[in-house]
Amino acid sequence: MMKNKETQELLRLIKENPELEVNPMIATYGVDDDFDTYLGYMGTPRVDKYYMGNDRVYLYEYDFEDVTEEYKDSHDKPKNKTWEEWDDEVDIIVEKFNWIKTITFYVSAT
């Protein structure tokens, strides 16, 4: 019997969502020596969505607000919109980005 709850949860999610890819998110902080491989710890798996931006990968659950802020930074608010209307419009625009549903979890270096 498996004792690792993260492994059990990953297997459950794969069984329930066989059509989804599994995409670990690898934390690179703390990995700054001369080795090519590392032992890592697996975080809690979940179903989420990701978006491939120009400079990084965004996870919907954690990064949606970052994507909306970056969109607003690179686009001017229409003069005929209030700030609240602009925020709502940008949320709708970003929601329509190519968010890809996936099974994901974080892996951090030991």
Render the chain in DSSP notation, one character per residue: ----HHHHHHHHHHHH-TTS-EEEEEP-TT--SS-S---EEE---EEEEEEE-SSSEEEHHHHHHHHHHHHHHHSPPPTTS-HHHHHHHHHHHHHTS--EEEEEEEEEE-
Write out the two tokens for 55.
């400079």
What is the residue-level pLDDT of the chain in tens, covering all 110 positions?
A: 456 899 999 999 999 999 999 999 987 776 666 777 777 888 999 999 999 988 899 999 999 999 999 999 999 999 999 999 999 999 999 999 999 999 999 988 76
* Predicted pLDDT at 33: 66
pTM over 0.85: no
Domain of 95 in residue numbering reads as 5-109
* Predicted pLDDT at 68: 96
Number of domains into which the chain is organized: 1
Residues sharing a CB contact under 8 Å with residue 21, sequence separation 6 or more, in sequence order: 100, 102, 103
